[in-house]
Structure 1
Amino acid sequence: MKAPLKVSLVGVGRMGQNHLRVLSMLKGVELTFLADVDEALAQRLAAAYGVPGGGHPAAALDGADAVIICTPTMTHAEYIRMAAKKVRNIFVEKPMAGTLAEAEAIAAIAARQELNLQVGFIERFNPAVLGLKSIIDKAQRVISIDFTRTNKLSARITDVDVVTDLMVHDIDLALYLNGPAKSVVAHGFARESMIDFASALITHDNGRFSRIQASRVTDKKVRLIEATCLDMFVDCELLRKEIIINRQSEIRQREGQPYTISAIQETIEVRPQEALLSELQAFIASCREGGRDGLPTADAGLAAMRICEQIQRAVVA
């Protein structure tokens, strides 16, 4: 029987508490420490879960096999550097860092020290996205994928704009589904030098396109992916976990006369599964077994940040 994997959690705010809930349910995982700058909160949650806790993140690293970082974006690089001195397995919530320069530095550390660093691009584990990927992988040809993500501005997100807060999810998915980017064109709207709306067109090396729109201006919550393929159009609704395939109509010959077969619409059932659970299970498996195929590594985090910066520069230019 394998010894439990000792995991510490740094940052127990809203997202950190979601991680805490899931980690506490995972077999073969032993929570060793909860750390947060709000020491009272860390100690209260630590008492509730029966683990040590406190206000000093460095204490979370002693004896840990892995650390999960769920702190504000602008602190990610600092805590990754701290963790990398003692722990090889590191999970950090998206984005990997607050700036491109920090992301480049972290990716270099990860490569030099051969870290198992996973970035929290949770949408890769959304069952609807997994279903979409399996469908378009079999498509005759993918022409373009459109991503729309809107959400009310959160009071807890004050250090980053809509590009690194929301849009980064779909930037990662665009690179994951369509491959490396060749060029980026972007427009947007900023208030008090903070971008709240952005629209970007990515041309990929393989000739595909990704159109990405993200907004914190509207209260309406939208999570939508639409794939245009030569032989089908696919709607993927991430909130409802629903996929609808519209297959193209065909023109055939019958006794010398052309006739049309109407477009066929299929609704694909998506198996319910909490994406955060799948994400953390994948991280724990990579800690134990070393495989990282399909996981968002430091390189993926850096690639997304490079696109983020291009979009930000275009919008505020």
Structure 2
Amino acid sequence: MNPLKCAVIGVGYLGKFHAEKYAALPGCELVAVVDADPVTAAEIGDRLGVRGLTDHRALLGKVDAVSVVVPTSLHHRVARDFLEAGAHVLVEKPITVTVEEADELIRIAKEKQRVLMVGHLERFNAAVLGLDLDHHKPLFIESHRLAPFKPRANDVSVVLDLMIHDIDIILDMVDSEVERIDAKGVAVLTGDIDIANARLQFKSGCVANVTASRVSLKVERKMRMFMPNAYVSVDFQNRVLARHRKGEGEMFPGVPEILSEESVFENGDALMEEIRHFLDCIREHREPLVSGAAGRRALATAIEITNLLKVQESRSCTA
């Protein structure tokens, strides 16, 4: 089988890691990297032994697959150019700025019969891949995604920057239409929302309480899921999956025993697994774990939360 010719568009902080993975994977050939900064493009290109370009259009029709790791505002234009040229596309999250842009990418990918995958990296965390709820849907979910402030990736709110990871996982897990959303948030260090909480109520009856912060003093990435007779927690940061369920015996008279088990996963390479999955989907002509439709669904929910926060902020400013 001929190797897939691949390129990475945008080789800043995250993009350079994409480029390194393609260069290391068998069955694909990294042919170029692209960045608006010619110094960055040349530096990464020289290090990996490929061309370093400043205009992605120079590669249209010349590559089989690309990772699009440019600023969110450029996702739609760059991904659209490559899809229309017949390339498969892995675009970083969020898929686009608007739902309409996402719809267009999904339509083009379908027409061209190309793989469109969205880079929700947490789906490839070893603890998430090991998650098995025994076909039970959660009734209540609580998630916390906290991080210290970093100057990069602040072109979007904390909802589209961090919370969207958990939104994506929760929507996939619950698999029910969102019926109501309540949200609160505040800007702390940037001109946009830096810490936010959203309560999602689903038609199935499940409720998810989701908190994200990029101005915390500690790093925490945890999700807890409650269902009949069981409780499951995932520590994304430390790759720990804990299961607690009601046993047959009694802990105290009239109180059932709690049986617990914990799995600790090795420090895998989630990005490598994500890109490997993308390339496998291309070769095997199958839908990726995080399709364009899944990325659109997460984006639409994140936008609704963001709009609620903007309304709240507007009211507080006029009060």
- 8 Å contact kept, 2:66–2:88: yes
Aligned residue runs from structure 1 range 291-306, under 5 A? 291-292=286-287, 295-306=289-300
Classify the secondary structure of the residue corresponding to 1:142: coil
Residue 143 (structure 1) aligned with residue 143 (structure 2): no
Report % sequence identity: 31
Computed over aligned residues only, the root mean square deviation of the Cα atoms, in angstroms, reads 2.0
Aligned-partner residue type, residue 142 of structure 1? P
- 8 Å contact kept, 1:233–1:246: yes
- In 2, the alpha carbon distance for the partners of 1:78 and 1:48 equals 28
Aligned residue runs from structure 1 range 1-317, under 5 A? 2-132=1-131, 134=132, 136-139=133-136, 142-183=138-179, 184-190=181-187, 193-248=191-246, 260-292=255-287, 295-317=289-311
- 8 Å contact kept, 1:34–1:60: no
Ranges in structure 2 where 5+ consecutive residues have no aligned partner: 312-319
- In 2, the alpha carbon distance for the partners of 1:230 and 1:77 equals 42
Aligned-partner residue type, residue 273 of structure 2? S
Aligned-partner residue type, residue 185 of structure 2? G
Classify the secondary structure of the residue corresponding to 2:24: coil
- 8 Å contact kept, 2:86–2:112: no
- In 2, the alpha carbon distance for the partners of 1:251 and 1:117 equals 49
Q: TM-score, normalised by structure 1?
A: 0.91
- 8 Å contact kept, 2:249–2:257: no
Classify the secondary structure of the residue corresponding to 2:139: strand
- In 1, the alpha carbon distance for the partners of 2:198 and 2:254 equals 40
- In 1, the alpha carbon distance for the partners of 2:286 and 2:291 equals 11
- In 2, the alpha carbon distance for the partners of 1:245 and 1:31 equals 41
1:204 CA drift (Å): 2.5
- In 2, the alpha carbon distance for the partners of 1:259 and 1:157 equals 52
Aligned-partner residue type, residue 137 of structure 1? D
1:198 CA drift (Å): 1.4
Distance 1:174 1:116, change over 3 A: same
1:269 CA drift (Å): 3.2
Classify the secondary structure of the residue corresponding to 1:186: strand
Distance 1:234 1:219, change over 3 A: same
Aligned-partner residue type, residue 57 of structure 1? H
1:258 CA drift (Å): 5.4
What residue is the counterpart of 2:314 in the other structure?
none
- In 1, the alpha carbon distance for the partners of 2:124 and 2:45 equals 28
1:69 CA drift (Å): 0.6
Classify the secondary structure of the residue corresponding to 2:66: strand
- In 1, the alpha carbon distance for the partners of 2:2 and 2:219 equals 42
Worse overlay, 43-52 or 266-275: 266-275
- In 1, the alpha carbon distance for the partners of 2:269 and 2:159 equals 25
- 8 Å contact kept, 2:9–2:34: yes
Classify the secondary structure of the residue corresponding to 1:315: helix
1:143 CA drift (Å): 1.2
Aligned-partner residue type, residue 170 of structure 2? A
Q: TM-score, normalised by structure 2?
A: 0.90
1:251 CA drift (Å): 6.1
- 8 Å contact kept, 1:61–1:67: no
What residue is the counterpart of 2:315 in the other structure?
none
Aligned-partner residue type, residue 290 of structure 2? P
Aligned-partner residue type, residue 48 of structure 2? Y
- 8 Å contact kept, 1:179–1:205: no
